[in-house]
Amino acid sequence: MKARFSRRQFLESSSCGFGYLALAALCQAGSGKAYASPNLEARTPALPATAKRVIFLCMSGGPAQMDTFDFKPQTGQKKHPGSVFKFQQHGESGLAISELLPHTAKHADKLCLLNGMYADTGNHAQSFLQLHTGDRLRARPSIGSWINFGLGTENQNLPGFISLNTSKPQVYSCAFLPPVYQGTPVGVNGENMSKASIANIASDHLPAAAKRRQLDLIQAMNREHQSARPEDQGLESVIESMELGFRMQSVAPGLLDISNEPASVLERYQVGVDHPEGTCKPSDFGRQCLLARRFAEAGVRFIELNHGSWDQHKNHRADLKANCLSTDAPIAALLEDLSQRGLLEETLVVWGGEFGRPGLIPEDGKDETGHNANGFTFWLAGGGVKGGHVHGKTDDTGARAVEGKVHFRDLHATILHLMGLQPNELSFHYAGRNHRLTGPEGGQVVKEIIA
């Protein structure tokens, strides 16, 4: 019997099926049924908003709160932990800040310390997931994706959510939300964040007009495919994502190119600064902070920076000092620039990690710590929170939050509230029920810290 198709015809025909499978996989992430046409258009928040955007300074590994922002005097009692670095009061507010953070301390009157933070687990992976998604066990949308879903972005040529220097997909995952709300990762593990650090953003093989015609042809086929499947709303999200990817090619490379920044700015952010050997772990954190300022100016809604690891089990003093050295000046430069450019009052800056650490006992001579999810510190700045303010406290050993306790659910609720979103009403219907960032329990807005 004569074959109906040649081998070449078969391969040409079946290759279309591979494309369909790829498209179906992209749509799967946004297969919930109860959402409007997914897009990144800026949306009016339901509540009066004091913040338009968030910059999250993620210190993965668990910063030692008693040696950074939660001063616990050494009592001389055996088996009684205390801060092993000196503290000093700063600013008109008199906030006590460690000697390891002299540049950040200059902005004490901008900081709102949450010294009563607590989480559900002292395991890194689970607590890190809960910090980002509200759930410590299952894959759920990251807070950046939720905010993107609720508010869209101010710049249609850029993603609403950018994640700098991370290799952990849960940090920027949209999970079951439509794919257009997925975070865009930029740079991995401290690499130089050039235009090439956004996957496939550099495309010089065709002139712009030809690339536009090429995409128009692909999108026409996608629209035709969509018209026959009106119930599959995930297709619209994929189409939107492809359009965004095209628009980014003309804008993102310029934002990532910091060569036009004055030398004085690069110096303040410590970009290209070589610390003396042994005093500081390699880091591109200064570049992250500078890019965060540039993305904030350009209208990106949620920007996450990542620095790690703060997991000092041994060599606590030296490693903590190194981490502070590599982050202190860049964070101070970011706060200074946001303030001077009139952006801080509408930008919420958040600093913290997945938990804290138990304090050292100075008398025993040891230099190692463990994990402490029962009491630790975050700080916020700008975006409508009180500056020079301390909310909550731990007990006299720093081991447990005892006043003004704030769970991750409450932190999430407060961030959403400051952005003008209703924290316990922002939801998405998936797998037969409504899901929200604050989980089934809901979160409480920490009203005491709102200016």
Distance CA(422)–CA(330), nearest Å, equals: 33
Give residue 246's pLDDT. Answer: 52
Tell me the two tokens of residue 62.
């668990």
Instruction: Give domain status of residue 71, yes or no.
Output: yes
Range of the domain at 342: 42-194+257-449
Which domain CATH number covers 145?
3.40.720.10
Work out the pLDDT band at 327, boundaries 50, 70, 90: very high
* Residue 169 or 67, more confident: 67
| Model confidence pLDDT, tens digit, residues 342-364 | 999 999 999 999 999 998 887 77
Give residue 309's pLDDT. Answer: 85
* Residue 116 or 13, more confident: 116
Instruction: Give domain status of residue 138, yes or no.
Output: yes
Give residue 238's pLDDT. Answer: 62
pTM comes to 0.83
Candidate from 74-83, 107-116, 258-267, 350-359 with smallest mean pLDDT? 74-83
Total structural domains in the chain? 1
From 254, 250, 255, select the one nearest 209 (Cα to Cα): 250
Give residue 371's pLDDT. Answer: 96
Instruction: Give domain status of residue 164, yes or no.
Output: yes
Instruction: Give domain status of residue 201, yes or no.
Output: no
Identify whether 309 is preceded by a cis peptide bond (ω within 30 of 0).
Answer: yes
Instruction: Give domain status of residue 395, yes or no.
Output: yes
| Model confidence pLDDT, tens digit, residues 171-210 | 889 999 988 898 988 876 544 554 445 555 555 666 667 6
Burial profile 287-303: b = 16 or more Cβ within 10 angstroms, e = fewer:
bbbbbbbbbbbbbbbbb
Instruction: Give domain status of residue 154, yes or no.
Output: yes
Would the pLDDT of 46 be above 70? yes
The Cα-based distances of 270 to 124, 282, 288 in angstroms read 29, 12, 11
Give residue 236's pLDDT. Answer: 60
Tell me the two tokens of residue 57.
């300074």
**Per-range mean pLDDT, top range of 283-292, 362-371, 432-441:** 432-441
| Model confidence pLDDT, tens digit, residues 391-410 | 999 999 999 999 999 999 99
Distance CA(323)–CA(309), nearest Å, equals: 8
The Cα-based distances of 433 to 129, 232, 398, 428, 429 in angstroms read 21, 18, 40, 8, 5
Instruction: Give domain status of residue 141, yes or no.
Output: yes
Instruction: Give domain status of residue 210, yes or no.
Output: no
